[in-house]
Each structure stands twice: as C-alpha cells, then as structure tokens.
Amino acid sequence: MSRLILLNKPFGVLSQFSAGRDENPHPTLSEYVKVPGVYPAGRLDRDSEGLLLLTDDGRLQSRIAEPRHKMPKTYLAQVEGEPDGAAISALCKGVRLKDGMTAPARARVIDPPQLWDRDPPIRYRKSVPDTWIELTINEGRNRQVRRMTAAIGHPTLRLVRWSIGDWTVEGLGLGEWRELRV
C-alpha cells in the first residue's frame, strides 16, 4: 500500500522539504509534515494555499502531477473586481496566455467560502470590490490560475486549491494533514 498525505498548506510555505541557502528562508513542508520518505506530488506556489498531496509512491506521484493524466484540480480564487458572464465564459472556453491557449476550464462565481484566516490578510480596497470564483482545470502550467484570471482582467488576490481529483482539503485546518492508504 502507498502512503498519501493530504496537507492544507499555509500561505508562505514552500512546497519542498528544504529551503536551500537563502539568507531569509521561508517555511517549508518539514515544519508541518514529519513523515520520512514522502514527497510532494506536484507543487503549490508559496503564495497559494490549500491542498498539497504528498506520497511515497513514484507512480502515484506521476499520476497526480503529470498533466497528461488530466487529474482535475479545483481552486477557489478571490479576484479583484466583479467578473461578468463574458469573463467567466472566457475561462470556460480557454484563454490565451504567453505560452499558448489554456484548455477549457469549469468556472463559476461563488459565494465567499468559509475559510481559515490568511496571514497576512489580502489587501483590502474600499473602492474595488472582489469576487470569489471556483475554477477547475486539468492542466498544471506555472501559476496558471493566476495568469488566467489576470488575462480576463481580474487579478487573483487569494488562491486556495480545494481539491485534486476526489481528494479535498475539506475538514483540514491550516497546516493540518491526514494520511490515507491507497
């Protein structure tokens, strides 16, 4: 049986176990998961939060992380402004980025989710409203969701990965994890 760890990665934490030689190191996974022999299956940017999967099985890691397997990843994104129907439709059809068109996504506006507090909180501007969208993609380009929302004119303020395939961060507090046997 393989080990699979579902971690609710906090904002500001690197998706690796060591910080390297940086003079001002950022927190890493080693501060949260003290399980030997597991490695991240994919990445989650330092400034993104939510579900990060770790496993000790290389084949499972590949199935989760490799774009050719098209495992859906659902994100909750707090974006600047109020995307209209055309903007949401553009996300659903695919948007042009510098590295080409994205695959079609599922996207919809949602009510603000009940999430943990982020430290530090996002910037708040009285004159600019914000909106939450749910976006499901099957690709895994670098900073893809952020680039997609920027391409439709609504930069991402906060990004939370909610699920990968059938695995979800639901029920996990910030920095908490649970292990499954698969």
Torsion of CA 64, 46, 78, 154, to 10 degrees: -100
Tokens of 96: 């042009």
CA 2 to chain CA centroid, nearest Å: 23
Coil, strand, or helix at residue 33? coil
Q: How far apart are CA 20 and CA 60, in angstroms?
A: 26
Q: How far apart are CA 106 and CA 84, in angstroms?
A: 15
Between strands 167-168 and 49-55, the pairing is unpaired
- Contact yes or no for 175/8 (Cβ under 8 A): yes
Catalytic residue status for 47: no
Which residue shows structure tokens 């609710």?
8
Among candidate residues 45, 56, 57, 166, the one labeled active-site is 45
Q: What's the N-to-C CA distance of the chain in angstroms?
A: 6
Q: What is the DSSP code (8-state) at residue 147?
A: H
Name the residues annotated as catalytic. Answer: 45
